[in-house]
Amino acid sequence: MKHLRRALSLLLSLALLLGATAALAEEGSPKIGILQYVEHAALDSAREGFVQALTENGYEAVVETIDTKNASGDNATLQLMAEQFATGDYDLVLGIATPAVQALLTAIADKPILGTAVTDYASSGLVVSNDAPGGNLTGTSDMNPVDKQIDLLVQLVPDAKTIGILYTSSEINSEIQAEMARQEAEAKGLSVVVKTISAVGEVQQAVESLIGQIDALYIPTDNICASSMAVISSVANPAGLPVIVGEENMCNEGGLATIGLNYTKLGYQTGLMAIRILEEGANPAEMPIETLADADVYLNQVTADEIGLTFPQELIDAASNIVTAE
């Protein structure tokens, strides 16, 4: 009996020791927070790519404890969540989309912030310069090849005389791209009708007001529009209006076509930046804003069939993904 009690005592001690060791290991692991502006496929993909990079590089335990918050496009909620991250014990916080990064930067001055799905950090006033951010923020840019997207619009709608540009007036990233698109379109001799919205509830009426005025519609990587692509398609497609969009997931949700970035790859690249900060002590102030080098062609055959448009074979051959009915 004495030997049994001793064995049980040893087992209990070993269990307590292992539990304490695990607790210490967990306590010593970096803690990461993620603040996402709104739920839609592009931002979700960026988040998933970020987590994938951590998982594939030995940070499985960190991934299990990531604190993810989503503001659902509400700015007051966004700021409240940012303040919660500011007062919490986090080693690094990721902001997904410009409004999320702006909120974090307003609230946090004493811990590293990474951003992704932000178009131009410097023009948005988030950093001193994209080459040398100068503060506690760095990250990846989703600047898409707007010039190539307008070229694509002209290729698909060669008889177009007037195009529309739709974006959210409060999103600086959208405003930057919209202005670039306007300049590109006017340089090609096209007239431009600009339509802005401020909330999801305005999307349908905005698109309806453009029907009959324009020959094609361009939408940049705008968060409100991206989350409302089903609504946009439900108005534009029956009217035979081609919609060129800013990124792949907007195309998957009903947009006609784009030449754009892969947001999973963008998020993955951001995850690698996080690892450099956590492992090597890299300073965000000295880490240039990074971009993806490649852009891909994405086509939606279902939408093309609905509006009666035929894709040129060279585009089909070059496409990374074509949405079909199957």
Query: What structural domains and CATH numbers belong to the chain?
Result: 29-142+263-291 (3.40.50.2300), 146-260+295-323 (3.40.50.2300)
One-letter amino acid for residue 319 of the chain: A
Residue 61 DSSP label: H
Distance of CA 60 to the CA centre of its chain: 23
| Tens digits of pLDDT across the chain (326 residues) | 444 455 444 444 434 333 433 333 345 689 999 999 999 999 999 999 999 999 999 999 999 999 999 999 999 999 999 999 999 999 999 999 999 999 999 999 999 999 999 999 999 999 999 999 999 999 999 999 999 999 999 999 999 999 999 999 999 999 999 999 999 999 999 999 999 999 999 999 999 999 999 999 999 999 999 999 999 999 999 999 999 999 999 999 999 999 999 999 999 999 999 999 999 999 999 999 999 988 999 999 999 999 999 999 999 999 999 999 97
Query: Can you tell me the distance from the alpha carbon of 267 to that of 47, in angstroms, rounded to the nearest whole number?
Result: 6
Q: For 196-231, give one letter per residue: b (16+ CB within 10 A) or e.
A: bbeeeeebeebbeebeeebbbbbbbbbbbbbbbbeb
Q: What is the structure's pLDDT at 208?
A: 98
Q: What is the pTM of this model?
A: 0.79
The answer for residues whose C-beta is within 8 angstroms of residue 101's C-beta and 6 or more apart is 95, 113, 115, 118, 126, 137, 139
Closest CA to 40 of 289, 246, 275: 246
Query: CA dist 147 to 95, 136, 202, Å?
Result: 27, 32, 27
Closest CA to 213 of 164, 155, 256: 164
For tokens 């986090």, name the residue.
Answer: 90
